[in-house]
Structure 1
């Protein structure tokens, strides 16, 4: 988007109205030049990174389909009708995963909303092992049989996701991309302001096909930019919020979680653990209108050294991202505490489906992908306009207008 949203008079806005004074016209022109400079440089700063995010985000929109294409998808086998409604215990599912990796300890047991029959058990050498060094095992929830491992480190999906989330730079990479997202939002807003005089003069989305090539590129840049305006603002804002997830989780741990586990400070490490089934049943009694989203085992970031944290979620399309943690004493399976999440984590959870477009099935995926491609066109055309700004034909094109 580095190309300026030039107006039909070569970048100088038309007078606000016919009766405006010369001073007001000069002030308006100065303000427009400032906005143009803001748009130019904010666009130049963020364009390369926005292109990276768009190009890596596009295949991630079709994450399941990508797994099928690469052969990494794990699907539930067909069982006889008499066994279709069976459900193995959560403890049996956990044992099946640990049998695959005997030297590991459990970190999480996860149920994806669209794959309730395929819980994923995340294991690692230690409870505090970083996410990139863990292993995941998909287990059939009906038979407690391990079905394989989802795409892991080194897979195409993993590489795309890491580039999209943090560029393999950890928290610094996330925060840097979040800053680029804010700069991108500034580029969008400033671009709209610079485009408004041209819009009022000739109408929204006009493309002057009879003009020189650079003018045609400029008009397409402006028109497609206005078409994708709402989507780009939405995805840019929610993406910037998502980059703060680690900081928000740490704030929750230092605030609410610290209050809930305060009575356990100084207690010795766990010797034996209660049943996972008992922990989930305790959580279901606390939140009877919700269903399990994932269980965080003792010692992980989403729990404490002495607790199962059973994270319950809503059971509807609009409530599936609403989570409530229930802390269960991991030694006896009794309830410790449960509280609603603070507002900032609610904002984070609400922003995630809006960013990824993964809540409306294939039609929404196609819509998200189409606007992703259009945004790439806006970014690419803006870059072209910047790189060709010293083209000797530029002066002749400006004169032709």
Structure 2
């Protein structure tokens, strides 16, 4: 690799790292508790549990469950309803002021057997909610998501450019070398490079899936425009179906389940909401295997007649989104995978923090020079900045890394 090529890659690595590092640190720090959100929820008392009953107690009608939820917040409309992932005896019903997407929501937990409303904590406040919002959109909605997506793209650029520059840096060092007898900045540089290459694949996967997740709103809108609009052509010009004119949701759920045997309910989107149309209850069904449980099959059921209108296959980009979401948080393999994800997250925090430290720590070049005497002592050392010029940031510039090699 020529010197010019190295300098070009060094420039790309330096500026992509400098721009995204602070935001990536924020995402790693806020993402750490989110890996254990269920466990933390139990500790904070925000997890709802159904009362113990005889196993096999029959479930009541979903219509009764929805009636109880609406009674709690009569001035709101139902947006979504879903079964708890870990307890089939719990329904969670989400209600909002209007069908439009909003952060102003209320959740009601209802016992699926007795249709009794259970004490439900607020999910839109508290420590975990703040961590979630900072991690997802910086409390800035779609604009915040897209901004974080851009930072994720810069992270991928920094990773690729760092890999390109790693080979020339390591040509004189054994893999994993940390020169502890050198200056502090050089030790941190070696540690930064070592942890960076060790966490390389994980960080690339998490960064890429995180970037894809920031596009979720746009993907869903495009899917609705591109595919659902054709399916909804017969309903053109008709208003949203009023609640009083809707067919039984229990009956609609049964016909949707019959449309896709071997699946179970993930969630229901009600008419007029972001994941449905003004004229349908949309049932999102999922498989029973670890992988297929992440893939959704939408079934559109006419809200008036309880007849299946369509069961379109999700396009590839929404499938990629659904697969990337649990991979991003390490939700595939239970507690062992969560622990691995947490350890890698901590290592990444050290990588990002050390890179920021190396850039902010101004001073002489990282390599040590032998004492000089005579006329040479008055001359500036090699690579020293010119008078009035700020020292070059070391942590983000791979050219400075090469200077630190023996």
Could you tell me the TM-score, scaled by structure 2's length?
Answer: 0.88
* CA distance in structure 2 between the partners assigned to 1:323 and 1:90 by the alignment: 21
Structure 1 runs not aligned, ≥5 long: 1-26
Equivalent positions of 1:4-19 (< 5 A) are none
Kindly state the Cα deviation for residue 366 of structure 1 after the two structures are TM-superposed: 0.8
Task: After superposition, give the CA deviation of every residue in 1:177-234 in whole Å (9 maximum; x if it has no partner).
Answer: 0000000011111111111123343232221222221111111101111110010000
* CA distance in structure 2 between the partners assigned to 1:399 and 1:200 by the alignment: 12
Range with bigger deviation, 108-117 or 290-299? 108-117
Q: Which residue in 1 is equivalent to 2:20?
A: 46
Q: Does 1:238 align with 2:209?
A: yes
Q: Which residue in 1 is equivalent to 2:58?
A: 86
* CA distance in structure 2 between the partners assigned to 1:72 and 1:399 by the alignment: 50
Equivalent positions of 1:52-63 (< 5 A) are 52-63=26-37
Equivalent positions of 1:298-313 (< 5 A) are 298-313=271-286
Task: After superposition, give the CA deviation of every residue in 1:75-132 in whole Å (9 maximum; x if it has no partner).
Answer: 12212x2x5432222112212211211222211101243333222101122222x330
Structure 2 runs not aligned, ≥5 long: 370-402
Q: Which residue in 2 is equivalent to 1:323?
A: 296
Q: Does 1:137 align with 2:108?
A: yes
Kindly state the Cα deviation for residue 400 of structure 1 after the two structures are TM-superposed: 9.5
Q: Which residue in 2 is equivalent to 1:216?
A: 187
* CA distance in structure 1 between the partners assigned to 2:282 and 2:189 by the alignment: 54
Q: Which residue in 2 is equivalent to 1:285?
A: 258
Alpha carbons 1:109, 1:295 under 8 Å: kept: yes
Alpha carbons 1:206, 1:219 under 8 Å: kept: yes
Alpha carbons 1:151, 1:158 under 8 Å: kept: no
Instruction: Give the counterpart of 1:188 among 159, 166, 170.
Output: 159
Alpha carbons 2:93, 2:108 under 8 Å: kept: yes
Secondary structure of the residue that 1:358 maps to in structure 2? Answer: coil
Alpha carbons 1:113, 1:320 under 8 Å: kept: no
Kindly state the Cα deviation for residue 30 of structure 1 after the two structures are TM-superposed: 1.3
Kindly state the Cα deviation for residue 395 of structure 1 after the two structures are TM-superposed: 5.4
* CA distance in structure 1 between the partners assigned to 2:75 and 2:302 by the alignment: 24
Count of aligned pairs between the two proteins: 371
Q: 1:300 and 1:367, CA in 2 relative to 1: closer, same or farther beyond 3 A?
A: same
Q: Which residue in 2 is equivalent to 1:108?
A: 80
Kindly state the Cα deviation for residue 266 of structure 1 after the two structures are TM-superposed: 1.5
Secondary structure of the residue that 1:224 maps to in structure 2? Answer: helix
Secondary structure of the residue that 1:120 maps to in structure 2? Answer: strand
C-alpha RMSD over aligned residues: 1.7
Alpha carbons 2:186, 2:367 under 8 Å: kept: no
Instruction: Give the counterpart of 1:368 among 341, 362, 378.
Output: 341
Instruction: Give the counterpart of 2:8 among 14, 21, 34.
Output: 34
Alpha carbons 1:151, 1:157 under 8 Å: kept: no
Secondary structure of the residue that 2:292 maps to in structure 1? Answer: coil
Task: After superposition, give the CA deviation of every residue in 1:256-297 in whole Å (9 maximum; x if it has no partner).
Answer: 111111101112442411111111111111101211111111
